[in-house]
Structure 1
Amino acid sequence: MPFAAVHHGPLPRAAQTAGLVARSLPGVPVYATELAGDHLPHDTDPAGLPPAYARLLAAYSPAERVDGPRLTAAAVARFAAVPAAGDDRVLVVTHTFLIAWLVRHALDAPPGRWLGLGHHNAGLTVIRYRSAGPATLVAVNDVSHLPPDLRATGLPAAYRF
């Protein structure tokens, strides 16, 4: 599959993963961007949420509650839009919160629905954007490319099957 570019968050684990992927994509430019960073995608109101989610959200500072959603909106504008011309395929190496937000956005689900969309480490999610209709989820959290013992990393044991 030809890619126009690889974008990754600034944290070491995203940069390392992007570097590994880039080795198999010679000539494809690789860009570090805060848009693919690990940040709070939405300042979701904790009222009525399960206690675990409310505690998670309470851990974010007021600045993170402003900066994260701002970065997420910019990420959606950059990565979750119909290409201006042709078939612009970009690979984004990012983190579970942004992936959850992009999936939520593709489904046009309510803003708070990003919570509960957990993803495996190295899970592949493919979203297709085209002018002929709504976004299409081609693959979500696909880990079939990994050996079985690595397919459930990043999630609780109860998620392993």
Structure 2
Amino acid sequence: MATRHVYVVRHGAADPFGELTGAGQRQSELLGQRLAGLPIDVVWHSPLARAVRSAQIIGRSLPGIAVREAAELVDHVPHVPEEIPAGWAGFFDGYDAAEAAAGARVAEALIARFARPSETETHEVLVTHAYPVAWLVRHALDAPPARWLGLDCGNTALTAIEYREGAAPTLLLYNDMGHLPPDLRWTGFGPAVRP
């Protein structure tokens, strides 16, 4: 088996209706320019509008590269802890067992499809949402399921993971915003002091 290089990104900044803002469009353009130097084989995206549009914009910088939908990349809560940390109680308030089971199924499908080596050397971009990014990072680090909580990522921040046969996944980058100017960094986070 060959190495699978996965470049996981959260969609660009979006409005409350899920449409990219001007900032989100610019973030996606800059990310596309950064990825243009890599031998990308395909851009996969969530079926949600903000990810679809981000992937289309990124794809413009990657001529001839297919941009395709992958249902496993949809926004979802991948895991609901049995004992919910006090700081997260409001987040999970009203979340029922059926919703938790549905989210777990999507999380399993995400890992089964993308978090494994491939038959040939591949470089894939996954345009998704904050929670699936956190779940893939948690999985790569072999951390307990509840550790996805708090693994936030910014809009169009780059996370790179490599999967090889017979080896644990390698997390190369997490939440890298080096392609964004300061005014476009840290979107998608709550208010706080940022480095």
TM-score norm. by structure 1 comes to 0.91
Structure 1 residue aligned with 2:40: 3
- SS of 2:189's partner is coil
Matched, 1:49 2:85: yes
- Unaligned segments of structure 2, at least 5 residues: 1-37
Structure 2 residue aligned with 1:82: 117
Structure 2 residue aligned with 1:39: 76
Letter in 1 for 2:161: I
Q: Post-superposition shift, 1:157?
A: 2.7
1:92-148 CA deviation, whole Å, 9 max, x = no partner? 000110000000000000011000101111111000111252111111000110111
Structure 1 residue aligned with 2:188: 154
Work out the CA distance in 2 between the residues paired with 1:159 and 1:65.
32
Q: Post-superposition shift, 1:61?
A: 4.2
Which range is displaced more, 127-136 or 9-18?
Answer: 127-136
1:141-161 CA deviation, whole Å, 9 max, x = no partner? 001101111111011232522
Q: Tell me which of the two structures has the higher relative contact order, counting C-alpha pairs closer than 8 angstroms and 6 or more residues apart.
A: 2
Structure 2 residue aligned with 1:122: 156
- Check 1:33–1:61 CA distance in 2 against 1; reply closer, same or farther (3 A cut): farther
Indicate which of 89, 98, 104 corresponds to 1:69: 104
- Check 1:159–1:82 CA distance in 2 against 1; reply closer, same or farther (3 A cut): farther
User: Identical aligned pairs, as a percentage?
Assistant: 44
Work out the CA distance in 2 between the residues paired with 1:73 and 1:131.
19
RMSD: 1.4
1:15-35 CA deviation, whole Å, 9 max, x = no partner? 110001111111111111221
Q: Post-superposition shift, 1:70?
A: 0.5
Work out the CA distance in 1 between the residues paired with 2:71 and 2:91.
21
- Unaligned segments of structure 1, at least 5 residues: none
